[in-house]
Amino acid sequence: MSISASKAAAASLLLAGFVSGCSLAPRYARPSAPVAAVYKEAPSRGVRWMAARPDAAWPRGKWWEAFGDTTLDDFEERASSGNENVAAAAESFLAARAVIKQARSQYFPTVTAGASATRSHISATPFGFSSNASFTEYSLPLDASWMPDFWGKVKNQVEANVFAAQASAADLAAVRLSVQTELAVDYYGLRAQDALAVLLDSAAAADADSAAVNRALARAGLVSDQPRADAEAQAAAARAQAADARILRAQYEHAIAVLLGVSPSAFAVAAAPFVPPGAQVPVGVPSLLLQRRPDVAAAERAVAQANAQIGVARAAYFPSLTLDAQGGFESFIAADWLSWPARFWSVGADAGETLFEFGARKAAVLQYRALYDEAVANYRQTALSAFQQVEDDLASVRISSQDAQAQSEAVAAAERNLEEEQARYRAGLDPYLSLLAGRLALLSYEQAELSYESQLASAEVQLIEALGGGWDASRLPPSKRLR
């Protein structure tokens, strides 16, 4: 290798060392979190919502497709791109990426340029003789300054901003997941109200038929007018309940419209039967939750950001060096402005170190250490809250499933009882009041069954949200891509 080549290589290495600098931030390690081996509330296999298949089978992104409802699939796709909260979170992430570019710009020199033409006249008074001297000065300066990152201040600031952008990306995922699950809960709530309205309309129609029959029997003098009045009262009550169900359905419909980012006035959902999701959710083990929850990932990235900020604060202990260079052209004659003899230049360096600041730098380091400890505590609390939410939703799914199954058995028993009451009423063995009581009991059990099924559907969706919705930390933008 030639001498000139060696010098060039040495200069390149020196420049790389200046740019990269050292790092005064503590070596980062992911904080520990209290993790149990298994979920306490997880039931044994055999429950219809529990998966007996590997975690990889769960949809990684579009988890709602496991429910098999094409209308819900369409709504979820629209909400993922049209919801305003998601749009705001996406813009926040883009802003965080722009901050990284701002920090990275400090790796490189700042260069400014300008041009001026100044016309001046010299006063005669200071010199004691008459003067009428006037001249024009033409100037084209170029200034450059650079502060090498010897102590890693810029490097750690860039690192901190990268971690902040990753946390913002996780926040975006959390907002999107929240919108998706809220949409699914509202959708199944709407479908439950559809089913309830159909149930109550059917009951009202049956009571209206009974009222007509009893009215004819009363006119014939075969029965009193009481059965007719009771049937009409129950028909009116069922119609009123159906109206309440349609009010709640309309509210669900309006909420879905807002989640999709459209005006409720221009949005409608056609009525359809209520089909419970019955998703097979792969719960996994608690340790996986730390990677599957976007809010936990955001909290962990906040810890990494706080760790890098300690390095930024430590760099203030060391001297700063600024390299300055100036050059350009200057002349009193326009024709000679850009000529070679009109050139000028200067090169210099400034070094500075704070000698007395009465503990300000130490206090700053202590501040960022405390902020780091705060971020660690927040991370652990976020993890604990995540475990709590999963345990809560597991218990809710398990108990709601048991309630729905028990209520289904109660409905079957009430149907058998009503069949017997109808036979006894037709045979003249029991009064109409007994038949009406059987109808009311069945309607009450059917309403309760629908309510439990709706609760179970909501609990299943919320469990998916608690488990991260198929998201994992590998979806965060890598550091190299953000730089």
Q: What is the mean pLDDT of the chain?
A: 83
Antiparallel, parallel or unpaired: β 110-113 and 320-331: unpaired
Model pTM score = 0.82
455-475: pLDDT as tens digits: 999 999 999 999 998 888 888
What does the domain layout of the chain look like in residue ranges? 21-82+149-318+359-482
| Residue (of 386, 364, 378, 252) closest to 309 by Cα position | 364
pLDDT of residue 52: 29
Residue 106 φ then ψ, to 5°? -75, -10
Interatomic CA distance for residues 384 and 381, integer angstroms: 5
- 3-state helix/strand/coil string of 32-43: CCCCCCCCCCCC
CA–CA distance, 176 with 180 (Å, rounded to integer): 6
Q: What percent of the chain has pLDDT over 70?
A: 88
- 227-273 pLDDT, tens digit per residue, is 778 778 888 888 999 999 999 999 999 999 999 999 999 999 999 99
User: How would CATH label the architecture of 21-82+149-318+359-482?
Assistant: Up-down Bundle (1.20)
With left for phi above 0 and alpha for psi between -120 and 50, is residue 172 left, alpha or beta?
alpha
The packing angle between helices 70-82 and 84-104, to 10°, is 40
What gap in Å lies between CA 6 and CA 66, rounded to an integer? 63
Q: What angle do CA 31, 32, 34 make, to 5 degrees?
A: 145
Distance CA 91, CA 83 (A): 13
**Calpha distance 140→146 (Å, rounded):** 20
Rounded to an integer, the average pLDDT of 273-289 is 81
Looking at residues 36-41, what average pLDDT do you find? 84
In this predicted structure, the answer to whether residue 11 has a pLDDT above a threshold of 70 is: no
Q: Is the pLDDT of residue 143 over 70?
A: yes
Is the pLDDT assigned to residue 322 strictly greater than 50?
Answer: yes
Is a pLDDT exceeding 50 seen at residue 329? yes
Rounded CA-CA distance 132/146 in Å is: 44
